[in-house]
Every structure is written in structure tokens, then in C-alpha cells.
Amino acid sequence: MTQLPLRAQLASALGRSAATLSRMTGRGDGSVIGGRVGLMLEPDLLRKLARDRKLALVSATNGKTTTTRLITSALLEMGEVATNVFGANMPAGHVSALSQHKDAPYGVLEVDEKYLPEVLDTTGAGVVCLMNLSRDQMDRAAEIWLLAQKWRRALSGKPTHVIANCDDPLVTWGASTAAKVTWVAGGQRWKEDSWCCPECGGPLDRKDADWACRECTFHRPEPQWVLDDDAVIDPRGQRWLLDIQLPGLANRSNAVMALAVAEAFDLPVERALPRLREVTSVAGRYTTVEREGRQARLLLAKNPAGWLEAFDVADPRLPIILSVNAQGPDGRDTSWLWDVDYRILRGRPVFVTGERRLDLALRLDVADVPFAVCETFAEALAMQPPGRVDVIANYTAFQQIRSEFGRAV
Ligand SMILES: [Zn+2]
């Protein structure tokens, strides 16, 4: 790699010191504060750190942390990879990730959907991976449509190679101004935000996986990669078993996206796939915490689409604990819980906890799902018979359980 200019070197080094200081004083992992310090001293730092590297940006409403991790694991097959492992997915986090791996020839950056245009402009990333767009808590359809429109503008006229999920009409529309697109049929479980054509507002007709606008020419592009239950069919028609360790259909979809991105970096499936199998848990998701003979597997659900993915992973034979908070990162308003169909939980022992347990309790009551309300997660866990239990929690509820019950087994 070419040397960074002196000012950028200094900004990058000071940013790293600030990050270390932040970690030492117990103020978190320091990746954001370090990046902020660096950017303050050298506003052009991200551009300079990104230069001469092969970068992939990963964006979506759900699954971006996991997919970033899967792509990183794959590219490690070829050399060092810089990545924002803590999900710090705005420019300060990207600066921090790239300065911590100054000599890494590759970078895989998780990017907040709203920041994608800015980060793409700044870094000039060669590859962009786009998976799904749906409402996050209180967003409404118009907001995510505007987001997709910003992606279109940002991608237009750039040489970027986009890997996009063509089963999501809004992602397809957002990606379709790019000069080069590899389409992946990665599936779409949550369809409530894509009944209308993003191009003309007409109704979208769906038949099996296919979709097309009834009123204009917008339609599902022909995919090069296809997720087919527990396997993937590559662009040459070869079928590969997706025997990864992360559970559920959503993660198999993330894995197909990762394989398509790896191929965009000239890494073939036979070398990338074994690397995907090495990923067992991402930022505590799918890990199990244990207390007094109860093993609780932690699933994160931050928005309606996330709940459906968690239901897919949860074992229908097991009891389930649901925990909902409404602090800053969760969104203060829990009315989005009403968008989720909870009837799938009928017949299982259901326990409800978290700060907003009563909001969730009312929602379950209306859906005719019997449940027990518990003051704390510890109480809910103590009510279980010894053995396994699934837990679905939203963001801060998830973090609380992780920090209180600590060590994963
Ligand atoms: Zn249309």
C-alpha cells in the first residue's frame, strides 16, 4: 500500500489512541470515538484510508452485520481484511476499522442504509452488496422508497459492481441504475413493504418467486445465483449444499449473498464456502447463555421483518421468552409490534418480559396467544424446566441479557 500523507497518518494514529483510551476507561469498544477523533483532525481521512484497497460495502435493513461477517470470513482466504466487527456502521466506525488494519488489502464495511451514498462516494468501493429494505420500527413505506431512490442516484454513473437480492423489488429498483449488477435470488420473507411498484406505483403481481408490475415494464431480473432451500445454485448451474452453522433461512440467504460477493473478488465457491462454515455466532446472536441447567439461545429481532426471521429459527417444540424494550436504539414507540403476526406462537409456552412487556402482552392477547408475564428475564428463565429455551429480544433487551448472563456456552 502507498503511504498515507503525514496528516492522515497522524489523524489515524491519534484516533487509534483515543479508541484505546476509551476501551481502557470502560467506555465501550472505542471504535466510534476513535474514528470521530480521526475525522475531526482530517475530514478526508476515510477517503485516504480507503484508497488502494479492494472494498465491499454491505447494506440492508436486516442481516448486514451477519453478512459483513460472512464476507469477511470468506475474503480472509485471500489475505488480511479490515472490517467494522462491532457493527459501528457509520463513517466514524469505518475510519476506525480501516485504521486498525492499515495494511489490509481488503475491506468489508457494514454501512447504515442512510449513509450508503456518502460512504460509496467517499470510499469509491468496488463492490456493494444490497440485501433487503423494509421498515425499521417506525419507518413508513415512503421513507424506505426515498432511501432506495438515494441508492439509485449514488450508484448511477459509477463503475461499482453491485450484488443485489432480486427477490426484493425495492432493492432491485435501488440497485438497477448500477453499471454492473449480479442478481441473487435470496428470498424475501417480509413482503408487507413491497406490494407496489417502486417505479410507477402500480400493483406488483407475484407468482411463486417471480414478480412484475402490472402497469409498467419493471419486473424481477433473471438471477445468476439462486437460494434453493438448503442449497445454492451458482451462475454455472452447479448446486452447493449450504451446510453453514448459522441457523435459519435468513442466514442461508446471507450466505448466498456472501458467496456472490466473494466471486466478485475472484474467490470461487469451493474456497469461500468452507470459510462461511467457520462463522458460528455474530455479536452474540444465536449464542446460548446458561443458568441453572437452562440453556437460552438468543435471537435478535429489531423490526417486523426481524421477528419473522427469528420465528423461522426458533424451535417450535421449545418454550419461548420474548423481551421488548423501548430505549433509544429500539425506538420509543412500540406500535410496530402490531405489524407482526404472532399467531405462529400458539401452542408453545410463551413468556413475556422487558420494559414494554405489557405492550407485547396486549398484542399477544389480541392474537389469541396465551402467555405469562414476568418482571425480569431472570424470573422468566427460572420458570422454565431445565433444558433448552429460545429467546427473542429487541436491541437493548438483547444487550441487557447478554451483559447480565454474560459468558456464552
Ligand atoms: Zn410499475
- Give 107-125 pLDDT, tens digit per residue: 999 999 999 999 999 999 9
Residue 191 has pLDDT above 70, yes or no: yes
Measure 196 CA to ligand 1 centroid, in angstroms: 8
CA 4 / ligand 1 centre spacing (Å):
47
Instruction: State the pLDDT confidence band at 141, using cuts at 50, 70 and 90.
Output: low
**How many Å lie between the centroid of ligand 1 and the Cα of residue 220?**
11
pTM: 0.88
pLDDT given at position 408: 47
pLDDT averaged over every residue in the chain: 91
Query: Which span out of 76-80, 191-195, 290-294 was modeled with the highest average pLDDT?
Result: 76-80
pLDDT at residue 136 is higher than 90: no
User: What average pLDDT does range 75-90 have in this prediction?
Assistant: 90
**Dist. CA 201 → ligand 1 center (Å):** 6
> pLDDT at position 140, please?
64
Separation of 198 CA from ligand 1 center, angstroms? 7
pLDDT, tens digit (0-9, with 9 covering 90-100), for 252-302: 999 999 999 999 999 999 999 999 999 998 888 888 999 999 999 999 998
Gap from CA of 203 to ligand 1 centroid (Å): 7
Among residues of the chain, what percentage have pLDDT more than 70? 94
In the reported structure, the alpha carbon of residue 202 is separated from the centroid of ligand 1 by a whole-number distance in angstroms of 5
The pLDDT of residue 403 is above 80: yes
CA of 227 to the centre of ligand 1 (A): 26
Q: Is the pLDDT of residue 348 over 50?
A: yes
pLDDT at 169: 96
Question: How far does the centroid of ligand 1 lie from the alpha carbon of residue 192, in Å?
Answer: 17
C-alpha 217 – ligand 1 centre gap (Å) = 6
Find the 398 Cα to ligand 1 centroid distance in Å. Answer: 40
pLDDT at 150 over 70: yes
Cα of 209 from ligand 1 centre, angstroms:
18
CA 169 to ligand 1 centroid distance, Å: 11
What pLDDT is recorded for position 15?
75
- Ligand 1 geometric centre to CA of 309 (Å): 28
Question: So what's the pLDDT on residue 409?
Answer: 42
85-89, 198-202, 336-340 — most confident range? 198-202
Please tell me the distance between residue 210's alpha carbon and the centre of ligand 1 in angstroms.
15
CA of 173 to the centre of ligand 1 (A): 10
Q: Sorting pLDDT into bands at 50, 70 and 90, what band is 325?
A: very high
Asked if pLDDT for residue 30 goes beyond 70, the answer is no
Going from the Cα of 199 to the center of ligand 1, the distance in angstroms, rounded, reads 5
> How close is the Cα of 212 to the center of ligand 1, in Å?
8
Q: Percent of the chain at pLDDT above 90?
A: 74
Structure-model confidence comparison of residues 78 and 6, the more confident one? 78
How far apart are the CA of 148 and the centre of ligand 1, in A?
15
Instruction: With both helix axes pointing from N to C terminus, report the angle between 249-264 and 269-276 in degrees, rounded to the nearest 10.
Output: 140
Ligand 1: centre distance to CA 204 (Å):
7
24 has pLDDT over 80: no
C-alpha 194 – ligand 1 centre gap (Å)? 12
Span from the CA of 218 to the centroid of ligand 1 (angstroms): 5
Residue 33 has pLDDT above 90, yes or no: no
How much distance in Å is there from the Cα of 120 to the middle of ligand 1?
Answer: 28
Confidence of residue 25 (pLDDT cuts 50, 70, 90): low
Q: Cα of 264 to ligand 1 centre, how many Å?
A: 30
